[in-house]
Amino acid sequence: MSGVINEKKIVLGALAIIAFATVALVVLPYMQLKELAAPESLKPYTDQQTLGRKVYIANGCIYCHSQQPRDANLGPDGKRGWGRPSVAADYVYDKVHLLGTMRTGPDLFNIGARQPSADWHLGHLYQPRAYTPGSIMPAFPFLFEARKGPAITGEVAVVLPPAYTKPGVTIIATQDALNLVEYLKGMDHTYKIKKTVKESFDKLNDVSGKKETQ
Amino acid sequence: MQNIGLVLLLAFGFSVLGLMVFIWSMSKDFFGSKSGAGANVIFGAHEIGLVEDPAVSNTSELQHDVGDTDASMSVQEIKDRQLADASSALPAFAWITGGVVWLVLASLAGLISSIKLHQPDWLVDQAWLTFGRLRVIHLTGVGYGWSSMVGIGVALWMIPRLLKTPLIGAKYALVGALIWNLGVILGENAIAQGYSSGMEWLEIPSQIGVLFVIGGALAAIPLFQTFANRKVDHLYVSVWYIGGALIWFPILYAIANIPGLGAGVQGAAMNWWFGHNVLGLWFTPLALATAYYFIPKVLGKPIYSYNLSLLGFWSLAFFYSQVGGHHLIGGPLPTWLITLSIVQSVMMIIPVYAVAVNHHMTVGGNFKAVIHSPTLRFIVLGSMLYVAASVQGSMEAIRSVNQITHFTHFTVAHAHLGNYGFFTMIMFGAIYFIMPRVVDWEWPYPWMISAHFWLVTIGFATYFIGLSIGGWLQGEYMLDAARPFMDSVKVTIPYLQARSVGGSLMLIGHIVFATHFFLLALRYGSSKSEVVLGAPLIDKLSKKKAKGA
């Protein structure tokens, strides 16, 4: 019995196992899903929405908010107004996926449909508790500028509930805040998924299920 | 769609069968004629029965716990071991010190994040202090700072002892520690400034992440050089775990950073392939390698079953590598992928059983030694929590349980049971053993070891129990359509507060530990000579010298 064989077995065994896992969890899903067509009603992100998405990533919104309403048999997501169960095709324009794993706050996949008002979003980002009592979402004052005096033309002033305003102080949204709100408002996946999209997905599902065993 | 289940089942059956044949063939090789020899390779020729724990203040007491013995080491063996320990001292010190500093900083970031969840208007004016950034600073700091650095440091220190060969090329590992540390510093800064990649566990931008690949490769050079020049025939189980981990991590990290792989839902599959493998194929093997060395070494008693450890290693690698999809149960991903991960998650029972039986049977009957040896106290607790974390993980992958725990703090508590209860506890134990040998000095204040142990144990129990209950309730409230969503937030508040209390105790424990660590490094207190290899050994060594003279 030689030690060399043992070393080879460890290295080759380790490589074979990681290769198997990589094929199953990375390569096959990639092959299966890379050509998936976007639903007709889903529009690519605008430049401003893309910038807003960066603000969403930079500030870690994903650590409390998912973007994946589930089927009715898994939870009352639909009843909470979070939308129909999402499908893979809904995400084709997402350059980095933001599915999320926590729901410390609600799912945001259709927040644009639930809250279409930019004023609401801006005020809520500035002080969540002004709109949702008991909310534990952080306030994001650093996305705003508090100024004594009125807003200059072209600037967007935040409309807050009276209890949260200070006399003479105007809260002005930064470009980051405006971009983020543009992204959130665009989060609307309430369009119907055509049968064809669903079918093509199921078909793909079937094919790769067989591939898996080859 | 219906035959997917059958096809999957067949594929799964074949892979398990293949694995069994593989393990069987391995065990034939290892144990054909020299059954059991593998477990003894970490001891000297007549050393079995002799305790070793440089962290104890009274070695004879520990020896008495295990049973008095005539076992001894030859003068040459002791000299060889001193040489082995000296060869790894500097690089091990560099990696471990980096880890300890990151532990304190990252726990502080974790505690502030925890408090923010029940004090959402606290520290909100600075962008870098917002929850979504500080939480990532915490995770990156404990993952890439503390866990990775201490894991590599402890592995570097064990290698010369496992291979009975002085470490060759220590300077590469030393440079590697500096580069890795630079990677963590730059990575944390990038996250603080908002340059996160957006994917969990992979937030550090690839341009900085490349430093981990370079630093890790530099640490691997001495490991493989020593490997090639080793003096032992048998490769002890810890060597497989270390070797596996060092092969796996660079591959995982490099593939995960390929541009474009994070896009679409297939990006989520890749994300959790990485996210769970960094635990299963990087942290877990490093900690198991550590437990497999120190438990038998402190007790002077070979591991119970070498065959079981073999089964444990290969089944861990095989099953653990495919569980990532269980983070996406119910998500918009192909059913086959998620089913595969659920099945393999449940199969994790096999490797966990192997480790549990092996460690329990080795420690069994020596619980007094566990009390007296600081090293064992931490490592045995860590081993027990490994079993708990893994069984819990298998349960959480089952759909009906996952339905409740997914998206809740219950998962966060589980993650800490793994990375803190298991990994970190084992590393604490290893550091208590290693550092006196690295610095050639005894731990100056044994009470600080006790204080550290009780602070982190009570703190962590508070953290884990509190957050698990809170997370479970959160999940149940969320599933109850009759309750408004806000109920699922409000119900967690007292438990989030409990988590902050537990987290504070843990942070205080870490400060005590780090202070003691640096006092030792600066050689405070009065060293006793017995620290060199333990009192009985030195006695025997001097007796032999006297005889020889």
B2 inside 8 A of chain A by CB: no
Task: List all residues 6 or more positions away from B484 whose beta carbon is below 8 Å from its beta carbon.
Answer: none
Cα gap A121→A160, rounded to integer Å: 11
Residues of chain B numbered 273-292 and touching chain A (CB < 8 Å):
273, 277, 281
Q: pLDDT tens-digit profile of B301-323?
A: 999 888 788 888 888 998 999 89
What pLDDT was estimated at residue A213? 36
- For B22-48, give the secondary structure using H, E and C: HHHHHHHHHHCCCCCHHHHCCCCCCCC
CB contact under 8 A, A20 and B233: no
Q: What number is the average pLDDT over the span B380-402?
A: 95
Tell me which H or E stretch contains A171: strand A169-173
CB A188 within 8 A of CB A113: yes
What pLDDT was estimated at residue A198? 52
> To the nearest 5 percent, what fractions of chain A are helix, strand and coil?
45, 5, 50
Instruction: Give the residue among A88, A99, A103 at the shortest CA–CA distance from B198.
Output: A99
B330 inside 8 A of chain A by CB: yes
- Residues from chain B that touch A104, judged by Cβ atoms under 8 A, are 117, 409, 489
Q: pLDDT tens-digit profile of B225-268?
A: 998 898 888 889 999 999 999 999 999 999 999 998 999 999 99
Cα gap B543→B541, rounded to integer Å: 5
CB contact under 8 A, B267 and A94: yes
What pLDDT was estimated at residue B16? 74
Cα gap B202→B327, rounded to integer Å: 15
Cα gap B126→A141, rounded to integer Å: 8
Res A201 pLDDT > 60: no
* Percent of chain B at pLDDT exceeding 90: 68
What pLDDT was estimated at residue B350? 86
Res B548 pLDDT > 60: no
Q: How far is A106 from chain B (nearest CA, A)?
A: 7
B206 inside 8 A of chain A by CB: no
B21 inside 8 A of chain A by CB: no
Looking only at the bridges linking them, the beta strands covering A169-173 and A144-148 are antiparallel
Instruction: Give the residue among B253, B48, B236 at the shortest CA–CA distance from B155.
Output: B236
ipTM of the complex model: 0.91
CA angle B198, B200, B204 (to 5 degrees): 65
Instruction: Name the residue facing A17 among B194, B263, B321 (closest C-beta).
Output: B321
- Residues from chain A that touch B478, judged by Cβ atoms under 8 A, are 75, 103
CB contact under 8 A, B247 and A14: yes
Q: In chain A, which residue's Cα lies nearest the Cα of B496?
A: A136
Burial track A23-56 (b if 16+ CB lie within 10 A, e otherwise): ebbbebbbebbeebeebeebeebeebbebbbbbb
Helix (H, G, I), strand (E, B) or coil at A169: strand
Instruction: Name the residue facing B194 among A58, A62, A88 (closest C-beta).
Output: A58
Instruction: Name the residue facing A25 among B262, B325, B485 (closest C-beta).
Output: B325
B240 inside 8 A of chain A by CB: yes
Cβ neighbours, 10 Å, residue B544:
15
Residue of B27, B162, B329, B336 to mutate, testing the A interface (most A Cβ within 10 Å of its Cβ): B336
Q: How far is A57 from chain B (nearest CA, A)?
A: 5
CB contact under 8 A, A59 and B335: no
Tell me which H or E stretch contains B367: helix B367-372
Q: pLDDT tens-digit profile of B136-181?
A: 999 999 999 999 999 999 999 999 999 999 999 999 999 999 999 9
Q: pLDDT tens-digit profile of B265-302?
A: 999 999 999 999 999 999 999 999 999 999 999 999 99
Q: In chain A, which residue's Cα lies nearest the Cα of B260?
A: A95
Res B331 pLDDT > 70: yes
What pLDDT was estimated at residue A197? 52
Confidence of residue B26 (pLDDT cuts 50, 70, 90): low
Q: pLDDT tens-digit profile of A53-77?
A: 999 999 999 999 999 999 999 999 9
User: What string of DSSP letters covers B378-414?
Assistant: HHHHHHHHHHHHHHHHHHHHSHHHHHHHTBSHHHHHH
Q: Which two tokens stand for residue B70?
A: 């005539």
Task: List all residues 6 or more positions away from B356 whose beta carbon is below 8 Å from its beta carbon.
Answer: B383, B386, B387
CB contact under 8 A, B136 and A63: yes
Q: How far is A172 from chain B (nearest CA, A)?
A: 15
